Amino acid sequence: MSSSVSQPVARETEAPEASALNESFRAPQNHTLLFSLLLVASVLICYSPAAHNGFLNYDDNTYITNNPHVRAGLTRATVKWAFTTYDAANYHPLTWLSHALDCELFGLNAAAHHEVSVLLHAANAVLLFLLLLHATGFAWRSLFVAALFALHPINVESVAWAAERKNVLSMLFLLLALHSYIWYTRRPRADRYALIVFFFTLALLSKPQVITFPFLLLLFDYWPLRRIGATQADPHIAVAVSTPLASKRSVSWLVIEKIPFLVLAAASAFITMKAQKAGGAMQTLTLYSPLLRCETAVIAYVRYLGKAFWPTNLVALYPHPTKLYPAWQVAAGTVTLGLLGVAWWAALHHRL
């Protein structure tokens, strides 16, 4: 008799505690914190060997070890030089200042320089997770994408090579600009818009590769923000429950909204071309014909996608071909990209 009575009593006393624990774990804010900590821990563990790396005589000497301006630290002369130089055939003053700050704090301690890059990459992984979470409301899917970005071998070069600080730094400001954009779309205001411009400018001053940002915003407008003709009742909109829907606008308005970013991107492209020309990095059409450049773009896109799924034979520099590719490779690459484009459009059209 005693055993038959004690079992229900045990369930009555233990069930509320277990239920409360499960509900606590299911809480969105707990997921966010836990997933963010997992991303940081994963990056720190996987990139811990980077602390044992030294400086290379391949770009690290130009950027850090043999650069008297950077080695001087954050002086007024260094700041002036950073904003006026075309050294290394680039214009990225914030990257120069980032290296100068490291020298100011750590001297030529290579381990510390690498550890700063690892911390920046960890911050980028968390920012990407939070960005996707706030834009879509899907925690696990956002975590998967952020983890893939954080740990994929194709990103090792950007994190473990000191001279590639420009990559992790520009990514940091790009993600902050995207966060600002989502914040702006919830309630458009001039001060929020100015914050996007501010972070985008910092990203451009870190590395001009982010000039595609205005087009990325248009993609965000289509999905996941669905600012084009969506309504509150649309069941395909996946946004966090606590986050109001983004403001809706016409296509023409959305394009006009991006004009300041297009102007900044064009200015950055112009300055970058001047820097590349001054550094002797621009090749003439006699060496690389327009046809060869187009073929290289098609083949490179396909090979890059291939390395995303099977990251082997990764190197710091992929030599540019000097002769045309075999016709079958160009045809196969063109068809592959075309089919991927059609599949992407069909998926978006049918909201799969």
User: In this predicted model, what pLDDT tens digit does every residue of 323-341 receive, in sequence order?
Assistant: 899 999 999 999 999 999 8
For helices 110-136 and 139-151, angle between their N-to-C axes, nearest 10 degrees:
160
* Residue 54, pLDDT score: 95
Residue 17 has pLDDT above 90, yes or no: no
Q: Which of 212, 225, 150, 147 is nearest to 186 (CA)?
A: 225
Look at residue 207 in the predicted model and tell me its pLDDT: 97
pLDDT greater than 60 at residue 244: no
The sign one gets for the Cα dihedral 139, 225, 166, 298 is positive
Judge whether residue 243 has pLDDT over 50: no
Write down the pLDDT at residue 351: 53
How many Cβ atoms sit within 10 Å of the Cβ of residue 113?
27
Query: In terms of Cα–Cα distance, which of 256, 258, 255 is closest to 266?
Result: 258
Higher pLDDT, 21 or 186: 186
Answer whether residue 6 shows pLDDT above 50: no
Look up tokens 């002036």; give the residue.
80
CA 43, CA 168: separation in Å to the nearest integer? 13
Place of tokens 């994963």: 42
Supply the mean pLDDT for the chain. 87
Q: How much of the chain exceeds pLDDT 70, in percent?
A: 85
pLDDT number for residue 13: 45
- Confidence band (pLDDT; 50, 70, 90) for 317? confident
Is the predicted pLDDT of residue 148 greater than 60, yes or no? Answer: yes
